[in-house]
Chain A
Amino acid sequence: MRKQHRHVLGWAAAALVVGALALVAAGCGSSGSKSGGGSGTTSAASSLPSSIGKGEGKLSLVAWEGYTQPQWVKPFEQQTGCKVTSKYAGSSDEMVTLIRQGGSQYDMVSASGDASLRLIRGHDVQPMNPKLIPDYENFIGALKSPPHNTVDGVHYGISLQWGPNTLLYNTQKVTPAPASWSSIYDPKYKGQITVPDNPIQIADAALYLSKAKPSLGIADPYELTQPQFDAAVKLMKQQRPLLKKYWALASDEIDLFKNGDAVIGASWPYQTNTLKADKVPVTDLIPKEGATGWADTWMLTSKSKHPNCAYLWTKWVSTAKVQAQQAIYFGETPANTKACPIMDQLSPGSCEQYHANAPASYFKSIKFWKTPSADCGNGKNDCVDYTKWQQAWTEIKG
């Protein structure tokens, strides 16, 4: 018995030594690759292509689920010979993580506004030439050079689709119909509310406070000074005990509404579409305070090995037909203004339903996701940056 134990100790000691050696090797490996990557980034940023060359045969994408449907991927592969592989990400944070860790593994990412600036600042993506995308001319004005993908006049990617985060509710259980975001902070619906499990949700609280408590002086829900931020976090902490669940996946929220666990919550149009198709009595609206929303951009990673295929893909998804297909599939609004008639052909009334013909004022009413940073344009550098948002989110969830 005693001897056996000594043997075990010997093994353990050997294991520790080997482990330590492996560790040193791993440390060397990773630091080596990091420095190599840094130099590649700077050289890639300096030159823009003036024409699209022949496709490299492959294209690897990081995308939102529903953005790379066979409906429009198959014809693209046939036309260009670029074989598409896609990896779905569930949140902007996950997208950033995948791109940062992926190196040259991925060519493009369908980043929302709260991921795009982080990718640009981290030199994870490279500039693109919009002149190579013919349909760029047909984009709504606000999405040609939006601040979330164009920095100092340099385009880091081409806009794709956009949409609002809506207030979803069960029409039978919630009466009278809500008109304000206040209902998701209302104890009346205790235990029946659901909101996204995402730090950017703090902006929704800030948006509501900007109208409910004008004395705070919130102008932009992503540019919050410490007192404004604290007020939003406090509101979310008060909301916490009222919640049934923070939903992480769209399918989570769909389940909650289907099973009667939630009757009201913050949502995307996609969930409303799916629930309505399942005959669940729900509807959604943009409350009187306005809404936050997303505007997505196809971005080219700085280490991409298949830039020609990437440009061909961007060109393809910008065409009116693909824009219309994707808009209807996901329930969002295309950037290409020529998509509206095709949407109505594919599904009558869908152009209006998804606001593809809405006036510019509708676009302006949506506060699009963007990455909060300390420098919020007032020259004082006193805004709360996204790291703090993430920390606060852990605190809010408790």
Chain B
Amino acid sequence: MAAQADEAGRSTRAARRRLSTTFWRRPWLRGVSLLGPPAGIFLAVYIAAIGVLFVSAFWTLDPFTGEIVHRWGLGNFRTLWNDHTYWRIAGRTIGLAAAVTATDVLIAFPFAYFMARMASPRLRTLLFVLVLLPLWSSYLARIYAWRLILANDGALNWGLGGLGLPHQHIAYTNWAVWVVFSYVWLPFMILPIYASLERIPDSYLEASGDLGARRWTTFRRVILPLALPGVVAGSIFTFSLTLGDYITPILVGNTQFIGNVVYRDVLGLTYNLPFAAAFATIPLAVMGVYLVLARRAGAFEAL
């Protein structure tokens, strides 16, 4: 590298030509120089961090000094296994992630279908902007907005009151968490479904019609299977994002999810990193299983 820079000082053009020749002769070099730096950072920061996380789950905390003791043991996992509270929290988290994913599929599919196959190009652009617009504002601002909507004296109750309907009391409940999660992750479901629906050639649908299939049959036997990878790809986002988020439950909920317990152990309560690491392996394992199943469903071809 230094030699090249030196030469560049004397004759930039010659050096540039030589460089491009080198890259042309050795295509693998191109790949390495393009992928190398990001892959290196990915390995050093992400994979290594997950490795450390997993290993530290087997360490323990000295209760007296609060320091981490590098002694191997299954104590953290035993606590997780034996304490019903953690089972309940993990179950609640996975259940919520599934509920949010299902809700988002139900909302996103018709929306994406309309966008991809029915809307005029101009309307489609407009809808795209509407889907992406919330992503430009801060995630926290949107959650705080929901807090104001759902509050006892908030916009929702004001509207219900105006219609003569009884007040709702879902602020700071799991229902509120479910609503807000479904809202914030919706764009992540719409976009992959849209991408998969848009890719279905019209000729397939015509062929299906020519063979005598009615609309519903075409939808069930042609569109749905072809859109499934998109749905699964979207569900990876909504499921994993819900599984790991701790801010939304803190702000709009009043129960603990896996992320909250991890957060309290990392910053706040005990600085019990080993225990936090042990608990954090649960979403990691759940996501691992999920990704394997998603791959079977062909989700990665849709990305």
Q: Chain A: residues with CB nearer than 8 A to chain B?
A: 11, 14-16, 18-20, 22-23, 26-27, 30-31, 34, 90-91, 93-94, 96-97, 100-101, 118, 121-123, 191, 199, 243-246, 248, 255, 259-261, 385, 387, 390, 393-395, 397-398
- A244 near B51 (CB under 8 angstroms)? no
- A390 near B269 (CB under 8 angstroms)? yes
Q: How far is the CB of A231 from chain B (nearest CB, A)?
A: 19
Q: A22, A243, A397: which contacts B51 (Cβ < 8 A)?
A: A22
Bound CA span A181–B267, Å: 30
Which A residue's beta carbon lies closest to that of B64?
A121
B250 interface residue (CB < 8 Å to A): yes
Bound CA span A385–B55, Å: 28
Q: B39, B67, B151, B255: which contacts A398 (Cβ < 8 A)?
A: B255
B153 interface residue (CB < 8 Å to A): yes
Residues A394 and B85 in contact in the complex (CB < 8 Å), given A22-B51, A387-B63: yes
- A244 near B172 (CB under 8 angstroms)? yes
Q: Which residues of chain A are near B12, meaning CB under 8 Å?
A: none
Q: How far is the CB of B149 from chain A (nearest CB, A)?
A: 11
Q: Which residues of chain B are near A199, meaning CB under 8 Å?
A: 269
Q: How far is the CB of A33 from chain B (nearest CB, A)?
A: 11
For the residues of A in contact with B, the DSSP-based class is: helix
- B70 near A27 (CB under 8 angstroms)? yes
- B271 near A18 (CB under 8 angstroms)? no
- A22 near B48 (CB under 8 angstroms)? yes
Q: A19, A100, A245, A395: which contacts B66 (Cβ < 8 A)?
A: A100
- B66 near A31 (CB under 8 angstroms)? no
- B255 near A260 (CB under 8 angstroms)? no
- B256 near A398 (CB under 8 angstroms)? yes
Bound CA span A380–B67, Å: 26
- A248 near B250 (CB under 8 angstroms)? yes
**How many pairs of residues, A versus B, come closer than 8 Å at their CB atoms?**
98
B169 interface residue (CB < 8 Å to A): yes
Q: B43, B63, B250, B254: which contacts A18 (Cβ < 8 A)?
A: B43
B261 interface residue (CB < 8 Å to A): yes
Q: Which residues of chain A are near B264, meaning CB under 8 Å?
A: 394
Q: Which residues of chain B are near A91, meaning CB under 8 Å?
A: 268
Which B residue's beta carbon lies closest to that of A121?
B64
Bound CA span A122–B270, Å: 13
- A23 near B52 (CB under 8 angstroms)? yes
Which 7 residue pairs are nearest across A and B when measured between Cβ atoms?
A: A22-B48, A259-B151, A19-B51, A260-B152, A260-B153, A19-B47, A97-B271
Interface residues of B in 57-77 (CB under 8 A from A): 63-68, 70
B200 interface residue (CB < 8 Å to A): no
- B55 near A94 (CB under 8 angstroms)? no
Bound CA span A31–B67, Å: 11
Q: Which residues of chain A are near B39, meaning CB under 8 Å?
A: 11
Q: B52, B70, B151, B169: which contacts A22 (Cβ < 8 A)?
A: B52
One digit per residue, 1 when the CB lies within 8 angstroms of any chain A CB and 0 when it does not, for chain B 131-169 equals: 000000000000000011001111000000000000001
Bound CA span A260–B261, Å: 28
Q: Which residues of chain A are near B64, meaning CB under 8 Å?
A: 121-122
- B47 near A390 (CB under 8 angstroms)? no
Q: Which of A20, A22, A90, A246 has the most CB of B within 10 A?
A: A22
Residues A100 and B152 in contact in the complex (CB < 8 Å), given A16-B47, A18-B44, A248-B250: no
- B51 near A23 (CB under 8 angstroms)? yes
Bound CA span A246–B66, Å: 26
One digit per residue, 1 when the CB lies within 8 angstroms of any chain A CB and 0 when it does not, for chain B 64-104 equals: 11111010000000000001010011000000000000000
Q: How far is the CB of B58 from chain A (nearest CB, A)?
A: 12
Bound CA span A395–B255, Å: 11
Q: How far is the CB of A312 from chain B (nearest CB, A)?
A: 30
Q: How far is the CB of A61 from chain B (nearest CB, A)?
A: 18
B286 interface residue (CB < 8 Å to A): no
- B147 near A255 (CB under 8 angstroms)? yes
- A259 near B148 (CB under 8 angstroms)? yes
Which A residue's beta carbon lies closest to that of B171?
A261
- A398 near B270 (CB under 8 angstroms)? no
Bound CA span A16–B151, Å: 48
Residues A246 and B44 in contact in the complex (CB < 8 Å), given A20-B51, A96-B271, A390-B270: no
Residues A18 and B47 in contact in the complex (CB < 8 Å), given A121-B64, A398-B255: yes
B29 interface residue (CB < 8 Å to A): no
Residues A26 and B47 in contact in the complex (CB < 8 Å), given A244-B172, A398-B255: no
Q: Which of B51, B65, B153 has the most CB of A within 10 A?
A: B51
Bound CA span A282–B222, Å: 62
Residues A394 and B51 in contact in the complex (CB < 8 Å), given A199-B269, A255-B147: no
Bound CA span A259–B255, Å: 20
Which A residue's beta carbon lies closest to that of B50?
A19
Residues A261 and B63 in contact in the complex (CB < 8 Å), given A19-B47, A19-B48, A398-B88: no
A-B contact pairs, 19 of them (CB 8 A): A11-B39, A15-B43, A15-B47, A22-B44, A22-B52, A23-B48, A27-B70, A100-B67, A101-B271, A121-B65, A244-B254, A261-B151, A385-B63, A390-B269, A390-B270, A393-B269, A394-B85, A394-B264, A397-B255
Q: A191, A387, A395: which contacts B270 (Cβ < 8 A)?
A: A387
Bound CA span A90–B250, Å: 14
- A34 near B67 (CB under 8 angstroms)? yes
